[in-house]
A and B are shown apart, each in its own frame.
Chain A
Amino acid sequence: MSTLVDKNVHISTERARRLEQLACKLATTEDVLIEQGLDLLFMKQDCPSESEADVEDDWQLLARLETENGPVPYNTRPIHKIDRDQIVSIVGATLDPSRIRRIDE
């Protein structure tokens, strides 16, 4: 078992009240609840979110594709600045809003 240390922290009156009530309701101590809360917080910090994992997957995919197909000459080719003042018409394929998901959903 880990060594216990004393640590003074400042939390709001409301949180202190709810912590006390919850400990009472669950028949445990405030210390245990704080430990459990910290475990959750640490777990979240240690595990990347789905969106971070998704972005990481994309970087790995890109590395693999560049190995297979050659490196992309990224940011070395002429830039086409979309000049809004010169646009006569825009037509395009629309996306049904119900099909859009954020990568962390």
Chain B
Amino acid sequence: MHDHLPAAPIPSSAPAPLPVARILGLGGAGIQAVEQMCRAGLEGAVGIAIHSDARCLASCSLPVKHLLGGHVTRGLKAGDPEMARALAEAEVDALRELGRGADLVVMVAGLGGNTAAGAAPVLARALRETRALVLALVALPFDFEGRRRQTQARAALRELRTAADAVVSLPNQNVVALLDAQTSLTEALRVIDDLLARGVRGLLRLLRRDGLINVDFGDLCHVVRGRQAESRLATAEAAGEHRAREVVEQLAHSPLLDQGRALARADALLVSLTAGPGLALGEVNQVMEQIQRLAARAQVIMGALVDPALDQRLAVTLVASDKTGPAPVATPSAADREVVPEPPEPEPPAGEFPPPADRPGSERVPTRGAASRGQRGGEPGPELELPGHERVGSAEPAASTARPARRRRPQQISLPLEPIARGRFAGTDPTVHQGEDLDRPTYQRRGVTLN
């Protein structure tokens, strides 16, 4: 099955142009993350840094930099999100220029920071106007970063959902659960950057390599477009005899996937397996079988590709989208933005960008200023991930930003009909068969709609 490359869904004249990808770091945290991705090698995508802080930009190793509002702030940071938004709006043409010609823009940001929170939605909108597929990859602040950052991040996330094609969010607080208390903060931040980086790398690999079973740009669009609600991106890698099992286990416990809960909620799933030439049919089968069991509701698109560089390792990249999330609050401009991606215009294939290792300044050790560190924070709260809360949020944004939601109560949302279903069976042991509560109506559990 040797299709030609990630074919953009349009006839193209050039010899199978690769989709052009840009990785864009916005704000201190975003830049840090993108730098780390580039250091590890990014399949030819180019990294771009955008910030309102000239000092941070100066010390950054990315090849393309853009200073937001230099003439207003003189390179000192934007003081609050509203200011950052105003600066971004003022420079929207320049921002659009950054995305020109790209098919896919991955925007990485820590929404706790002022610049990111204010500029991200504007930037996403601007980039989408260039007909690129905009995937926002955002980190949400730790709980300890305080209420203000949290509400700010939540508001920005909500806005971003209507502006970008897909938003993949990683609440930093989820990562805390993975690390023990002794882990240094630097290490924790590095882990978060690494999680983001692995996700992006897997995504690029998926789009740029010729697959045995091909997944292409069109498939990605299919999975994420129109599903602004909830997209997750995760990768896992394992080697050794039981790599197929381990890799799925890693995914099932990935904080990017809410410890696997996001899989159960997903209704569209793109899975790509990459391994060395020794990839066995049995392994593909095993991985897919397990993933399909985890994501019973989802429509699964799968791809497999062989990358000799991986040797004995098996990597799985997964994009999960949940359409049932909050309906996008469509602004008039958001509505006409649903465009099929154009074929890449004559534009240097991303592969021709200089390999990141050659860049000057790549040796720079991440020394985060207090400011950039703060950028990752706010305090989102994992509850941001719950569709129920978001539904409340999108309905009345003002009220929800002020709401001190702290606890995660995922059960409440999925069982609205519990009182009726339980009625007759109150006081009895629930009848559970293979994890299914048989006291709930069969038609509900099987998703049969009555109309």
Q: Do A and B bind each other?
A: no
Which residue numbers of A lie inside 8 Å of B, CB to CB? none
Which residue numbers of B lie inside 8 Å of A, CB to CB? none
